[in-house]
Structure 1
C-alpha cells in the first residue's frame, strides 16, 4: 500500500493516542493538530489523503475549518467527528460535502472502516471490475470463434462496449490494453464475416439484418400515429458507445422502450447511408428512380441536399396519411431557433431532426489540433460527445418533447472508427477521396486489408462505368496514396473516419423511448 497521510484535528488529541498508534501500526502516517486554525495551515503545507475533523473545538470551529479546508483542497475527503448527531450541524456539514461523519466516542474499527470506504473504494471497485472482465474475457474469446449471425454480432459488440465503459474508470491500464486487443480481434473477424455475407443479404438471405434502407418502413412508420406525436432524431455519426455516454441524460426525461441496434449499409458514409434511411431505397435504386435527387461521387454539389424530398416520396409510397416536418441542424444558431419554436411542432404526427454535431466533431478532429487533444481516444471522444449533448439545443428540444408528450426515436446513419494503420492504394485521378472506401477504375490495393466488390450492382451501389469497383477498408485501416505518403499518413493517423467495415461503423443504435410522466 502507498503511504497514506492522515490529518487528525481535535483539541483533545492526547486522548486519541491509542487510536493513532493503532493506525500507525497499520502503516498509516498520522499528523495531528489541536485547532481548526492549525489544520488549515497544515492543509496548505502538506498533501494529505484524508482529514478527521472534530466538529466542536474552541476558536475556529470544525464547520468553519471545513469550509476553509475545502476552499484550499476541494477534493480532499473530510470526515467530521461530532459529539451528537444534531440535525442543523449535520445539514451544514453535509452541505459542505463531507466524505463521512462519525459520532463520539469513536473506536479504532470505525476509523479503519471510514478509511477503507473513502480511500480504498475506487481500488476495490477497480479490482472487482478487473476480476469480472477477466472472467468475461474468456467467454468473449470463445464467442468470437463461433459468432455467425447479425444478432450474435450485435450481442458481442454490446458486451465489448459494456466492458470498455466499465474499464475506463479503473486504474489498471493493462486491462484496457487487453480489451483493445480483443476489440481489434473482433473487428478482424467481423470484416471477414461481412465479406462473406454482405452480398448474399441482397439475394434473399434469411439472415439479412435490419439495415439503413429498411428501418423507416420496419420501425419508424409503425410508431407514427395521429394520437401521439413522434420525434425522430438522427444524430449523424453517433456510435453505439457514444449513445451509451448520453443515455443517462436522455433517461432523465424518457424511458427506454426498446433498443434495436441495426446495420448501416456500405459505404458507411452519409451520402449513402442517410439517404437510404430517408428514401427507403438502396443507392442504385435512388439513382435509377430519382436521378434528379441522387448525386454520385463526382457530381458537383452537396450529396445530402434532398433528404426531405426522399422522405416525402417514401411516406407517400408507404401510404402514410400524416402531417410531418423535416429539419436539418448543422450549427448552433439553427439549433437554438428550432428549440425556440419547437412547441409549434406539437400538432405534427412526425417531426424529423437531423443533427450534425458529431459528424462535425469527427471532421474537426482531423483538421484542428485542439480537437485532436480533446478527443485523443475513444474514452475522450465519448466524454466530448456527452459534454456537447448536456449543453446542446438538442437536449432542450428533447426536454420540450417530453413535456409535450412526444414519443422519441434516437438513431444515426453510421458510426466512425479511430484509424491507426495506413493501407496503400493506387487509382486514377477520378478515384473517390474517402479514406475508408474507394470507388474507381483499376484500383490497386492490399487484398487482405480491404473488401473488394467488382460488381457494385451486386450490393446495390451505382456503377459509374463498366470497370468501376468499390473497396472498403477493414479493421482500423485507412487508404493512403503513395504520393506524399508519409505526410498523408501522419496527418490522418489517429483521426475518426467512416465509410468502411468495422463494428463501430456498421452496428449502430436505434432507440425507442416514451416520455416520463
Structure 2
C-alpha cells in the first residue's frame, strides 16, 4: 500500500513513518499542500494523510483540490482539534476520516484498516457507476460521440488504477477492444465524407481551421508533439492548468496515421495525393527523410491561404540536448509564428537510463504514462512554455497517436514493400481483409498511387503485419509493442489545445 503524508512538520513524524515502512507500507512525504498536489499528479496513492493546518495553502483547501481532480482518492485529515464543527466541515468536503493529534501508531493502523474497507465499498460503487457510464455511450452515432466515448475510456483507465478489482479491469479492457472494433467500422464507412469536409477536422485542415484565425489576433507558438496520444495529453494537463487556462479541442488524423502522411498534411494543408500531384518533388518515397520538405510545403500553404509577410520559424527537436540548445531561440520575440516539432515519444524513451527499463516501457502503457508525467514537469519544454510572453498564444497538438499491437497478420507481395508494421504499400501486396483495409485504388481516400499495381493496406484494430518467411520470429519480436499508422481511436483521435496564461 502506498501512502502520501502531507504535513509541514513532517520531520516530527519520522518515527511513525519508519514504523509504517517496517510494516511494509511505502510512504512518500510532502511538506506543503502544493508539493503534495504535485506528487498526486505524478503518481497514485492508496491513502493520503493530510494535515489540517499548514502555512500557505491549508489542509481543507488541499482536500477540495484533491477531491475535484481525484474524486476516488482516500484522504484522512490529521488535526489537533476534536471540535465537531471542524470535523463536519472536513467531512462536508469529502474527507474519508480523521485522526486527532497527538495520536498513537495504533491510530494510524486503524485508519488504514478502515480505508481498506472503504476502498472495498468504493470498488462496488465504481462497478455500478462503470456499467451505467458504458451503457450510456454503447452506440456512438457521430464523431462527437466517439470523442466522448474515448475520453470516458481514458477517465476509467485512471479511476480503475486506484482499485484492486481484476475482473472489472478485464471488463474495461474488453470494452476498449469493442470500442476499437466499432470505431474502425465507423471511420472506414465515413472516411470519404470526412475528406470532403463533413465531419471532424482532419490533419490537412488543422492549420486553416485553428492556427490561421489565431494569427489574426497576434503571435502564436505551435507545439507539435510527435506521437502524443490523447491520454498522454490528459496526463499533463493538470500540471499545465496551474499556469494556463486551457481551451480544448479535438481533431482526427488522416490515414495512414503516421508522420509521413499526417504531419506532411498538417504543414501542407493538402492530402498526400494532392502533394504528389501538385508538388511531386516534395513527396518522398524512400523510408528516410519523408518529412524533410515540411518548410517548403508550409510556405506553399501560406501562399494558398493568402498569408503574406508572416515571420515564422520551424524548429525540430529529436533529443533533450537539442531542446536545451534551442531554449533561448524559443523565447525570442522576432516571430509571428514559431512552430516547434518535438520528437515526443523518443524523448521519453531516451530519458530512461536502463535499456531493460526501456524494453519494459515499450510494453506497458501505464508505466509509460507515469514516466511521461515526471518527464514533462522537469522538461525544458514546460519551462519554456511558462516563460513565453503572455501576449502570445500557445497551441499544443499531436500528429498521430499509437497503439499496443496484439494480433499478427500475414502480408504477401513482392520485394518492394514499405517497412511500417501498421500500414504498407507496394505492388500487388495482399493480406486478410478481416484485419486490414485493403485499397486497390488508394486515390479514393487521397493517397498517391505511383503505379497501377500499387496497393495500400492499413491495419485495423490492434493488428500488425508480419512476413510469411519467419512468422513466429516476427510475431514474438513485435507483439505487444507500440506502433502507429493504422486505424484505432488511440491513433486517430487527437488533442488540440489553446493555452491562455492565467492572470
Structure 2 length normalisation: TM-score? Answer: 0.78
Q: Which residue of 2 aligns with 1:408?
A: 394
Q: Is 1:480–2:466 an aligned residue pair?
A: yes
Q: Which residue of 2 aligns with 1:267?
A: 256
Specify whether residues 148 and 119 from structure 1 end up closer, same or farther in structure 2 by C-alpha distance, changes over 3 A only: same
Q: 1:124 aligns with which of 99, 118, 123?
A: 118
Give the conservation status (yes or no) of the 8 Å contact 2:228–2:344.
no
Secondary structure at the residue paired with 2:134? helix
- 1:71-128 C-alpha deviation (Å, 9 max, x unpaired): xxxx999899xxxx9999xx9xxxxxx972445899xx96799767555447635743
Q: Is 1:513–2:499 an aligned residue pair?
A: yes
Residues 207-356 of structure 1: pairs in structure 2 closer than 5 A: 207-225=198-216, 228-257=218-247, 259-296=248-285, 299=286, 301-321=288-308, 322-344=310-332, 346-356=333-343
Specify whether residues 48 and 104 from structure 1 end up closer, same or farther in structure 2 by C-alpha distance, changes over 3 A only: farther
Give the conservation status (yes or no) of the 8 Å contact 2:348–2:375.
no
Mapped partners of 2:334, 2:158: distance in 1: 39
Secondary structure at the residue paired with 1:508? strand
Q: Which residue of 1 aligns with 2:359?
A: 372
Q: Quote the offset at 1:363 in angstroms.
A: 10
Q: Which residue of 1 aligns with 2:403?
A: 417
Q: Is 1:201–2:197 an aligned residue pair?
A: no
- 1:30-79 C-alpha deviation (Å, 9 max, x unpaired): xxxxxx9xx7899399527799xxxxxxxxxxxxxxxxxxxxxxx99989
Specify whether residues 44 and 201 from structure 1 end up closer, same or farther in structure 2 by C-alpha distance, changes over 3 A only: closer
Mapped partners of 2:341, 2:150: distance in 1: 25
Q: Which residue of 2 aligns with 1:58?
A: none
Q: Which residue of 2 aligns with 1:181?
A: 174
Q: Quote the offset at 1:406 in angstroms.
A: 2.1
Give the conservation status (yes or no) of the 8 Å contact 1:239–1:505.
yes
Secondary structure at the residue paired with 1:431? coil
Q: How many residues align?
A: 437
Q: Is 1:43–2:19 an aligned residue pair?
A: yes
Across the aligned residues of Structure 1 and Structure 2, the Cα RMSD in angstroms comes to: 3.7
Q: 2:450 aligns with which of 464, 487, 492?
A: 464
Q: Quote the offset at 1:138 in angstroms.
A: 4.2
Q: 2:440 aligns with which of 430, 454, 472?
A: 454
Specify whether residues 176 and 48 from structure 1 end up closer, same or farther in structure 2 by C-alpha distance, changes over 3 A only: closer
Q: Which runs of 5+ in 1 are unaligned?
A: 3-35, 52-74, 92-97
Specify whether residues 434 and 76 from structure 1 end up closer, same or farther in structure 2 by C-alpha distance, changes over 3 A only: closer
Residues 5-24 of structure 1: pairs in structure 2 closer than 5 A: none
Specify whether residues 479 and 193 from structure 1 end up closer, same or farther in structure 2 by C-alpha distance, changes over 3 A only: same
Mapped partners of 1:174, 1:76: distance in 2: 22
Larger radius of gyration: 1
Specify whether residues 501 and 44 from structure 1 end up closer, same or farther in structure 2 by C-alpha distance, changes over 3 A only: closer
Mapped partners of 2:47, 2:305: distance in 1: 61
Q: Is 1:499–2:485 an aligned residue pair?
A: yes
Mapped partners of 1:118, 1:76: distance in 2: 8
